[in-house]
Amino acid sequence: MINFFRKIRKKLADDNKPLKYMRYAIGEIVLVVVGILIALQVNKHQDHLEARSRECEYIKGLITDLTTEKMFLESYLEFDQEVINNAEAILQGYYDRAGFTIDTIFSKRLSILNNRSTFRKHNSTYRELLATGGLNLLLDQTLKQQIMLYFQTVDQYETVIRQNNEYIDNHFAPLALQVGTHYVPNHQLKWSQKILEKGYIKPIFNKPADFEFTFFKHITNYLNDPIQELELVNQIQYRYRISAVHLSIVDELLDSNLVLLEDLKKAINYCDRD
């Protein structure tokens, strides 16, 4: 294209011999400037396309992470709801009968309270955005702020849940193991299914016929001490409140997750049209 214009300019310059060198020089300058401007525009367009492509890849990564986190949060809600249901049953039974009824049902319910779930963050794409400065590629400033707020909230809530889990491990669990047999809830059975099938562990132990009677009798005697009974009641109440807090936190996160997922999917639809 530039060579075409150059030939036309040279012909026009040759038609007027006294001005041909001046015309030629000015024409060369104009052509160089035009060429530079075209090159800059092409490079700018290519950079824009590359930036938009990277932005869309990041958005896809965020959608993948948040979809995985959505399933985890739903599972976490089910877990804490199970804990709350069993804690309520133990406490209501205690208040109705002015004491604990020590039997297999009590032991299983207490064992469920002794379990806790680790909060797992799914933020690999967000960490990459922070590390690479990729957040600056997000053109939608409202969406950018929404993403940052969501993952900052996840960090805050993860800290709360981790600290509460440490309390369960260090305070509730030792007491629960003194007054109940360990029972594996249904949602944990799948963890041991493969090693059971391969024979790595025994599916059951052969216990004496009077084991549970004797064991529950010891627990009853232990809880006849008002101080021990009061400690167990208070620990169960506190364990109940921990799961209630977790349930509230996770439910709030799930709502935010669903809203952010929907907005990210709208953004990726815009990418696909490009």
pLDDT of residue 54: 86
What are 111-136's pLDDT values in tens digits? 889 888 889 899 999 999 999 988 88
Q: Which residues of the chain have pLDDT under 70?
A: 1-49, 51, 182-192, 272-274
Contact 242, 119 (CB under 8 A): no
> What is the per-residue pLDDT for 5?
47
The pLDDT assigned to 40 comes to: 61
Residue ranges per structural domain of the chain: 54-273
What's the confidence (pLDDT) of residue 196?
Answer: 74
Do residues 266 and 64 lie in contact, with contact meaning Cβ atoms separated by under 8 Å? Answer: no
Structure tokens at 242: 């921990």
CB atoms within 10 A of CB 267: 19
Answer for the pair 194, 238: CB distance below 8 angstroms, yes or no: no
Q: Given this model, what pLDDT does residue 164 score?
A: 96
Tokens of residue 15, six digits = 């038609």
pLDDT value of residue 14: 55
Residue 147: phi, psi to the nearest 5? -65, -45
Query: What would the two tokens of residue 144 be?
Result: 């950018």
Question: In angstroms, rounded to a whole number, what is the distance separating the alpha carbons of residues 147 and 61?
Answer: 12
Q: What is the model's pLDDT at position 152?
A: 96
Residue 150 tokens, joined: 């969501």
Closest C-alpha among 120, 121, 122, 117 to residue 82: 117
